[in-house]
């Protein structure tokens, strides 16, 4: 099983002006750096909590359909875009959307896909590495925190507060932060906030 990102978020959970207000930065010289730190903090938060924050599109790739429900990672799942599989002749087929159901209250918060009542998974398929691909949209939404309307933001307050703490720490200590070591420099208070959103276990 593998998961691959198809379309990344179009916007970040906290916009640049809100991050600059948090950092008390009034000039524009560090805008690119601050935006990059904001993206890095969001990516860390998503990895740590095992959730998709802003709207994004993913594919879960497996070799064949399971015997039970097919779990989808990175909740909250918004919708299923398509389910494709390789049939016995080696051709790619699309499973009709009216033949499956998306359960958004799955174990551990993960979305679950399974056949409609009385239905079955497609049977005209052959085992093939990566033969089944489920493309789905996940995330809390696409509304960032802004100075004009901070309460309208899609991502929960704990996540946005943690993101700003992480950005503040990385901005103040940028020389000690290198790619691959961000987790060792995350403030404890930020991890505590992220822990309230963190999912246990994994997606199978």
Q: Which of 37, 65, 42 is nearest to 52 (CA)?
A: 42
Chain centroid offset of residue 154 CA:
13
Which CATH superfamily hosts domain 2-53+141-196?
A: Phage gp6-like head-tail connector protein (1.10.3230.30)
Give the whole-angstrom CA distance, residue 199 versus residue 204: 14
Q: What is the pLDDT of residues 50-75, one digit of tens each?
A: 999 999 999 999 999 999 999 999 99
In the chain, the percentage of residues whose pLDDT exceeds 90 is 80
- Give the per-residue pLDDT at 128: 87
Confirm if 154 and 139 have CB atoms less than 8 A apart: yes
Token pair belonging to 36:
């990059």
How many CB atoms lie under 10 A from the CB of residue 50? Answer: 19
Q: How many residues does the chain have?
A: 204
Residue 37's pLDDT band (cuts 50, 70, 90): very high
Point out which residues pair with 101 in neighbouring strands.
114
Contacts of 87-90 with CB under 8 Å at 24 or more apart are 87/122, 87/124, 87/125, 87/126, 88/124, 88/125, 88/126, 90/126, 90/128
Token pair belonging to 34:
């601050």
Angle, alpha carbons 49-55-61 (nearest 5°): 75
Token pair belonging to 28:
């524009």
Q: Is the pTM of this model over 0.95?
A: no
């Amino acid at each position: 099983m593998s998961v691959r990102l198809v379309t990344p978020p179009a916007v970040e959970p906290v916009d640049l002006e809100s991050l600059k207000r948090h950092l008390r930065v009034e000039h524009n010289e560090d805008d690119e750096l601050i935006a990059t730190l904001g993206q890095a903090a969001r990516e860390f938060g998503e990895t740590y909590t095992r959730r998709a924050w802003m709207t994004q599109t993913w594919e879960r790739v497996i070799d064949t359909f399971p015997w039970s429900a097919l779990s989808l990672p990175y909740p909250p799942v918004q919708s299923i875009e398509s389910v494709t599989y390789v049939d016995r002749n080696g051709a790619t087929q699309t499973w009709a959307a009216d033949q499956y159901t998306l359960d958004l209250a799955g174990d551990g918060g993960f979305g679950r896909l399974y056949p409609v009542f009385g239905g079955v998974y497609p049977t005209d398929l052959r085992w093939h590495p990566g033969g089944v691909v489920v493309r789905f949209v996940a995330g809390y939404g696409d509304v960032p925190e802004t100075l004009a309307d901070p309460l309208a933001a899609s991502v929960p307050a704990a996540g946005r507060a943690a993101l700003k703490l992480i950005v503040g720490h990385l901005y103040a200590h940028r020389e000690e932060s290198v790619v691959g070591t961000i987790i060792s420099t995350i403030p404890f208070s930020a991890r505590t906030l992220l822990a309230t959103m963190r999912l246990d276990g994994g997606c199978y």
